[in-house]
Amino acid sequence: MIFGKNYLIWDLDDTLYNKTEEFADILDTTMAKALVEDLKLPMDFETAKQKVTESYKIYRDGGEVFYRDYGVKPRDLFKAYHFRKPVEKIVPYDNLLEKIEKVPAEQYIFTASDRYASEKILKHLGIYEFFKDRYYSVEDFGVYKKNESSEVYRQYCEKIGVDPTDCVFVDDSYSNLEFAKEIGMTTVRIYYRNNSAKDKTYIDYAYKGVLSFLDDVIKP
Ligand SMILES: [Mg+2]
């Protein structure tokens, strides 16, 4: 058990690896290319990239401005972006699998990446075999985000057959934790520079980087 719960559900992106500033910039480039080259948005690449970066700052979602102002369909960008996602540029943590294997809880992943990209990421991080039958994407629930309502968290728990109050949910993005908390999960936020969400009452625990969380829950 961890924090008195039997199940642990992980976010994947920016939680089980660290998104460096350099990688964040590469992702903005990737999204701009998907918009201009794949979805044929009538905009030059530089402008598109600038808007992706702005959109991320305002909405925590690089695509939001394009859904709102340019008629881009979330599903189209979701697929094009994830197909291009440069997974090979992620720097995996050392000994991640070894630590995960020691966590005294049954573990799952719930990711906002699509199935294609999440399989590649899990393989790249060396944890695919461990999570093979225990990872789900938002697309498995017919949505493209997990910070819009608690409904998708309820459906997730139903799918894996667990009671939300018996789950710990770990995510770097606090807007997701709000909905996990709403259905009774225990919430853990992974932050990097500083704990910017200290005031949020729906966050039960916060750790600087996932390794400090893992080291804490696996310590004898
Ligand atoms: Mg994340």
pLDDT of 168-205, one tens digit each?
Answer: 999 999 889 999 999 999 999 999 988 888 899 999 99
Ligand 1 centroid – CA 170 distance (Å): 9
pLDDT at 148: 86
Q: Is residue 2 part of a domain?
A: no
Ligand 1 centroid – CA 4 distance (Å): 24
- Reported as type and span, the H/E element at residue 213 is helix 210-218
Ligand 1 centroid – CA 15 distance (Å): 5
Q: Is residue 166 part of a domain?
A: yes
Buried b / exposed e across 2-18, counting CB within 10 Å, b at 16+? beebebbbbbbbbbbbb
Q: What is the distance, to the nearest Å, from the Cα of residue 186 to the centroid of all Cα atoms in its chain?
A: 17
- 65, 88, 111 - which closes a domain: 88
Ligand 1 centroid – CA 18 distance (Å): 9
Ligand 1 centroid – CA 12 distance (Å): 6
Joined together, the tokens standing for residue 188 give 């853990």
- Reported as type and span, the H/E element at residue 210 is helix 210-218
From residue 168, give the alpha-carbon distance in Å to each of 52, 85, 86, 100: 32, 28, 29, 14
Summary mean pLDDT of the chain = 96
From residue 11, give the alpha-carbon distance in Å to each of 42, 46, 47: 34, 31, 31
Do 65 and 171 belong to one domain?
no
Ligand 1 centroid – CA 136 distance (Å): 14
- 67, 88, 109 - which closes a domain: 88
Do 119 and 165 belong to one domain?
yes
Residue 70 belongs to domain spanning = 21-88
Do 125 and 34 belong to one domain?
no
Q: Is residue 213 part of a domain?
A: yes
Ligand 1 centroid – CA 183 distance (Å): 19
Do 64 and 107 belong to one domain?
no
pLDDT of 113-165, one tens digit each?
Answer: 999 999 999 999 999 999 999 999 999 999 998 888 999 999 999 999 999 99
Ligand 1 centroid – CA 156 distance (Å): 17
Number of structural domains (the chain) is 2
Q: Which residues contact 4 (CB under 8 A, 6 or more apart)?
A: 186
The total number of residues shown for the chain amounts to 220
Ligand 1 centroid – CA 126 distance (Å): 18
Do 13 and 34 belong to one domain?
no
